[in-house]
Structure 1
Amino acid sequence: MTDGELHEFAREAQRLRTVAMEAMFRVELLTDSAELSALVRCALKAADRLHSGRSREELAAAREESRTLVYDFIAAARAFVPGLIAG
């Protein structure tokens, strides 16, 4: 991975982290679910670890972990969306 690619990746990771933090704050404002708060915080911590990966393999592993945790959070959050059919 080139320095330019790493820089661009870091910028995108920071942008996505900001979006995720905004979502976390909304969850915490709109629900009193400790489970959701814990899930979203785990996902954010995993996203933070994306910065530490330097090889393609490290980045791929960190990306897979963060995606899995985000999907877990979304699946749990569905129960709090009025009118949404769980699936």
Structure 2
Amino acid sequence: MLIYAACLGASIGTHLAVDLAVMSLVLPDADSEGRELGILQVAIGLPQLLAVAMAGALITWLGGYPALFLFGSLCAVASGLLMFGIRGVR
């Protein structure tokens, strides 16, 4: 369990560091880079905060974890389909 936790922590930390570095390279205006990365972090953190309450409600109202996993799967498919609408980086 400790080995798993160490590997998970290292991989998530690496992903977040590289992810932010790449995003800062892609942003068009260096003067507003901090503001735009802050907006991005809110867009990442707010759904994570709301997901906890939504998960509890879905488990209670829809009868358990299978409904929660189905909802999560549908959200993953929907987000994947929405990615096709992105034309590219300006």
Q: What is the TM-score of this pair, normalised by structure 1?
A: 0.39
Greater RCO, 1 or 2 (C-alpha within 8 Å, sep 6+) = 1
Larger Rg: 2
Query: TM-score, normalization: structure 2?
Result: 0.38
